[in-house]
Structure 1
Amino acid sequence: MNNLTLLALITSAALITALALYALYLWRRVWAKEKTQTEALNAQRERIGGDLQILASSLLDGQLPLIEGAIRIKVLLDNYDSTLSQNPRCEVFHQLFVATAQVPTHAEWKALEKSVRRQHEQHFSELELQHKAAARTAARWLLDEALPVGRKHA
């Protein structure tokens, strides 16, 4: 081998080593970012699970109106676990959500005429009579079986 070939081999080996080290550096950054994202998702899931337990417990204790509780539980379930949200035992939350989807909220609710508000409130009462037992059963199932036991607030 002549000197030029040897120099080319050494330069190539050094370049390959430098590129391999840079690739390793980049992969470590990717792995660290994935770990951070996974930890953030797990923390979010834990928070939502705790919020679901509080809402289900409040619904059962009568501290939360049925319609409001069902809507909040449905939205959180969708963000917590779509499979759990689609469980037939949680269908009542979806039914109440759909049945009240057209009702204005917040400032729009306050801006409604009293007669329109009373009509909505009458509709809420009918829905509550129709779905109260199923909603309570679903909330109890969430607390007892579906949600992790680690953060019980009931």
Structure 2
Amino acid sequence: MDALTLTLLLTGLLLIAALAAYAWHLWRRVWANQRAQQHAQQERQQRIGGDLNILASSLLDEQLPLIEGAIRIKVLLDNYDSTLSNDSRCQVFHVLFEATANVPTHAAWKVLDKAERRRFEKHFNELELQHKAAARIAARWLLDEGLKRPLTNT
């Protein structure tokens, strides 16, 4: 083996070793990022689960208006666990969310005339009368069972 061949062989081996070391470094960064993302997702799920507990308890204690509570619970459930959100025992939250989807919020609510606001408020009262018991049962189920189940999609 002449000197040129040996030099090229050693250079090639050094290049392969350097690339392998760099690839290992990149994979370690990927694994660290995956662990960080999993940790952040777990913290997010715990935070949302805690928020759902508070909302369901507040709804049961009547510290939160039924319509507002149902809307907030539905949105958080969708972000927490879609399987739990779509459970038949949580359907009342979806029903109330959809029944109020056309109601203006925030600044748009403030600019409504009084007659329009009263019409929406009457609709809220009708929805509350119709769905209060089911919403309370669903909130109780969430607290007692639903939020204690393992998550199915995170």
Q: TM-score, normalised by structure 1?
A: 0.93
The equivalent of 2:152 in structure 1 is none
> In the TM superposition, what whole-angstrom CA distance separates every residue of 1:95-137 from its partner, at most 9, and x where no partner exists?
0000001011112112111111111111111100110111001
Letter in 2 for 1:68: E
Distance apart, 1:26 and its partner CA? 0.7
Matches within 5 A, 1:40-79: 40-79=40-79
Deviation at 1:4, TM superposition (A): 2.0
Which runs of 5 or more structure 1 residues have no equivalent in the other structure? 150-154
Matches of 1:64 and 1:148 in 2, distance apart?
22
Counterparts of 1:84-123 in structure 2, within 5 Å, are 84-123=84-123
1:49·1:148 contact (CA, 8 Å) conserved in 2?
no
Indicate the percent of aligned positions where both proteins have the same amino acid: 69
SS class of match (2:120): helix
TM-score (norm 2): 0.93
Counterpart of 2:145 in 1: which secondary structure? helix
Aligned length: 149
Q: Mind listing any 5+ residue stretches in structure 2 that lack a counterpart?
A: 150-154
Distance 2:108 2:26 in 1: 51
Alignment correspondent of 2:139: 139
| Conserved? CA contact 1:96–1:127, under 8 Å | yes
Give the RMSD, CA atoms, in angstroms. 1.1
Contact 1:78 1:85 in 2 (8 A): yes
Matches within 5 A, 1:118-129: 118-129=118-129
| CA positional deviation for 1:40 | 1.0
2: CA distance, partners of 1:104 / 1:19:
59
Amino acid across the alignment from 2:108: E
Q: CA deviation at 1:2?
A: 2.1
